[in-house]
Amino acid sequence: MTITINHISMYTTNLEDTKNFFITFFNATPNKKYHNPKTGLSTYFLSFADSQVKLEIMTKPDLSTDCGIHTGLNHIAFSLNCKERVDELTKQLSENGYKTLSGPRTTGDGYYESCVEGPEGILIELTQ
């Protein structure tokens, strides 16, 4: 049996800004916005070229970020296929106000990567 990732999900307090972040920096293509009037839940599924994995971004009116603790999802890793692209996108994100947390660098296990803090504190890993 083959198991593959279907999608990764994250909550956000600003659905449109988060959607635009992934469109601008990762060429995501959103589906039509879904809204559940009963629960207040709104979502987009974002698709990425040459990948079957989708990113679901969600928000609710009562969503709270008061706790200051990020539980659940730790990071999303994007493969960029070359060191130069990792360097370029890391610089572009930094110039647009997103904090670079590490790298670009070659890790102890041989991966060339950087880590950037994206919307809602989500860790975005950029890999070769």
The CATH H-level (homologous superfamily) assignment of domain 1-61 is 2,3-Dihydroxybiphenyl 1,2-Dioxygenase, domain 1 (3.10.180.10)
pLDDT of residue 112: 95
Threshold 0.75, pTM exceeds:
no
Higher pLDDT, 10 or 20: 20
Q: What percentage of the chain has pLDDT greater than the value 90?
A: 49
Q: What angle do CA 111, 116, 117 make, to 5 degrees?
A: 145
Measured CA to CA, the distance from residue 82 to residue 13 in angstroms comes to: 33
C-beta of residue 105 within 8 angstroms of C-beta of residue 86: no
Domain positions in the chain are 1-61, 74-127
C-beta of residue 88 within 8 angstroms of C-beta of residue 40: no
Q: Which CATH architecture has domain 74-127?
A: Roll (3.10)
Closest CA relative to residue 73, chosen from 26, 123, 28, 118: 123
Residues 22-67 pLDDT 10s: 999 999 999 999 999 888 889 999 999 998 899 999 888 877 655 5
